[in-house]
Amino acid sequence: MKQLFRMHIATTVVCLLMMPPAIFADSTEKDPDQIGNRNVGKGVNFYSIQKEIALGKQLAQEVERQARIVDDPVIAEYVNRIGQNLVRNSDAKVPFTIKVIDSDEVNAFALPGGFFFVNTGILLKADNEAEMAGVMAHEIGHVAARHATRQMTKAQLVQFGTIPLIFMGGWAGYGIYQAMGLAVPMTFLKFTRADEAEADLLGLEYMYKTGYDPTSFVDFFEKIQSLEKRKPGTISKMFSTHPPTDDRIKAAQVNIEKYLKAKPEYVVTTSEFNDVKLRTMAMHNRRKVDDAKDSSRPRLRRAPGAGTTVDDGDQKSKGDDDERPTLKRRDPSSDSSDQQQPQQ
């Protein structure tokens, strides 16, 4: 009887979890003036904030083992600064660690607990800083709403076998299930349509509060939607799991008009964005040259001592190696014969 009662409670919780997120949404969620004081991310969740951060850190380490992280301090610092400014104007309750991945793919993703990765492809495809900020704000919205761990909680509850474990104290089985999920970190980023809609709204609010033109969010997603139609495969497969459908673009336009009071001026772009974008393009061009080198082909290697340094009076033009032999230029006036002897 006691077990049946617990099962009934579990079933009730499952039904509540399967309801639309609006059931748990705070009434002020659509008021950008209340950002930071709202109940975004509330709901049934087996993960405490501390556990969510620990999980995200473990997943981020796996990503960093597989990805090529940009070590250019100018690019890394700029992207991090833009992201941290958005975070300060969000509902997120965790600190963010933001890193840049050297990849042409248009992609950005935030893991549970605030571990955030931005591909350089975003920088290259964005026409201005506000467009890049819109993509980043959307991903920050996923973290603020705790979509990843709330979704994991739903998945574990709906599995009939885990229900008695969870409600009868059998956390060992839950721990094993959680550990198994670490094998494929990207599964934490596949969200429902309702989650994507919420992240869209939150992202618009966060970039608006930060001072960016929210219509840039729509501009960028329209652009990559068109790009993917012209050149399939340009957009990262992970990014395409929540494609910028016409319905989502239209919903964003409605949300901007309905909830975001027009400001007299917005930040659209900065000269720094243009400088960093050019720097990123140069970095990609260098990488493409390096990647084009085929290690299987024979290569010419300059032998030690190859090259020359010419001594022309008081001026010296050095080659690449200071140890290369030096040829002194003869003085034509000191030698009138056809046979020329090298100076000792």
Q: What is the DSSP string of 88-99?
A: HTS---S--EEE
pTM of the predicted protein model:
0.71
The answer to whether residues 40 and 26 touch, using CB atoms and an 8 Å cutoff, is yes
Is 221 buried (19+), middle (13-18) or exposed (0-12) by CB count in 10 A? buried
Identify the pLDDT of residue 295: 55
Residues forming a β-bridge with 309: 326
Q: Which is nearest to 73 in space by CA: 55, 51, 99? A: 99
Instruction: Find out whether 319 and 301 touch, Cβ atoms under 8 Å.
Output: no
State the 10-residue block means of pLDDT for the chain, 344 residues long: 50 50 51 90 90 93 92 98 98 97 90 95 95 96 93 74 41 35 45 88 97 95 80 58 71 94 95 97 87 59 48 44 47 51 48
pLDDT for 261 equals 93
CA angle 318, 320, 322 (to 5 degrees): 65
